[in-house]
Structure 1
């Protein structure tokens, strides 16, 4: 009720239109690939300590990156992904659009449609991939192997599962970037396959709007994030992996076994 009252006070016309089901979406325009990159965070696995962030090209709907790490809200981590992408593309877009986060609701309302570029992919990810992992980690909670309130558990989950999660995310990205997108009335961009639209804009009569950037400029600013999320625990895990000649897992079964091994080691040493 409090939120509803605030919305009526801040945006009475919008509330009135929505209540009468007369709300109209804005139109999305793009002059070509690399005009606008849309970045956003994905929190469906955040209760299990895995934070996902991604970026999509507004014109082609090509996913430029989707990364799993210990955070998707640290600006330095997002900057690392962005700069790596700029390095790979040998240039940057004319503009970027990002999640408004905790800004006031009027700004969020104005930018909501702009973020829908990547929200479509998040919906696709939820249907095709996320639900399985949510059920998997939920079973670990039921087995009392994991608690979202335990910092150690969260770090171990990331150490044992992030590489597997990232490999699967890369596969989903490949699937998305090669699937046909149908025409949508509210979008003034061509329909088609994202990879083809992005890499062959001349086929649709559009142009690449990338802004050239040198590799040296990018590397000067880039740095690697800590994916485990805690330097001390990261050092302990690294030492244990080398001392006991443990291998990084390739399957969920191996990941769960390693998780239980490391968890038992840390708990035994802390007693």
Structure 2
């Protein structure tokens, strides 16, 4: 089990105040495996290839500057793509099967209105103190794609170079290369 799943398990059991997490391999869960396959095919593999290409040609050293530049130039586009895939997944139709225990319909409707399908709503109230404790243990993004100081620096360079914030992958690559070159020349 990955580190993230361990944290999710702890929070889920803490919030529900009962043993509410099932440990097991996802290979036994065809639905989540189908989701991971679709996510990789529809979104993640593309971004993995784009970012790997930067590294393969020597344009990404893995240092804090390059990492923040990648976040600055690409994060909004990656998040938009992830949001698109989320919407498609939540609205796709799960077909009816012979197994009566397997729900059919659209995930978003199954989640938000399970009673329409004769299903039980598993949403439970949570102790407010528990929620506040979880908030103190979590770190949340502040709306910036990278470190705040570097974000400000990158915006200064963008203004000096008359660059616009990228709206597609080609523009993101161009902005990344222009900023990286300008900043490294000034170091």
Contact 2:90 2:108 (C-alpha < 8 Å) held by counterparts: yes
Determine if contact 1:93/1:210 at 8 Å carries over to the other structure. Answer: no
2:168 to 251, 256, 260: 251
Other-structure match for 1:263: 180
The equivalent residue for 1:206 is: 119
Task: Give the distance between the partners of 2:5 and 2:112, measured in 1 at CA.
Answer: 30
Q: Which structure has greater strand proportion?
A: 1
Between stretches 137-146 and 181-190, larger displacement belongs to: 181-190
Residue matched to 1:180: 93
Q: Which of residues 88, 105, 114 is equivalent to 1:192? A: 105
5+ residue gaps in structure 1?
1-39, 42-71, 84-90, 101-109
Q: Report Cα offsets for 1:105-162 as digits up to 9, x if no partner.
A: xxxxx44456654322111112222333233334333443224x44432232122111
**Against the structure 1 CA distance between its residues 184 and 208, is the aligned structure 2 distance closer, same or farther, given a 3 Å change threshold?**
same
Cα deviation for residue 212 of structure 1 reads 1.6
How many Å separate the matches in 1 of 2:5 and 2:107? 28
- Higher RCO (C-alpha under 8 Å, 6+ residues apart): 1
Indicate if the aligned counterparts of 1:125 and 1:172 stay in contact, CA closer than 8 A.
yes
Q: Flag the structure with higher helix content.
A: 2
Of 140, 143, 146, 1:224 maps to 140
User: Does 1:238 find its partner at 2:155?
Assistant: no
State how 1:1-271 maps to structure 2 within 5 Å. 73=4, 95-96=20-21, 110-113=24-27, 116-147=30-61, 149-183=62-96, 188-213=101-126, 218=131, 221=135, 222-225=138-141, 231=147, 234-242=148-156, 244-245=158-159, 247-270=164-187
TM-score by length of 1: 0.51
CA-atom RMSD, angstroms?
3.9
TM-score scaled by length of structure 2: 0.69
Number of equivalences: 176
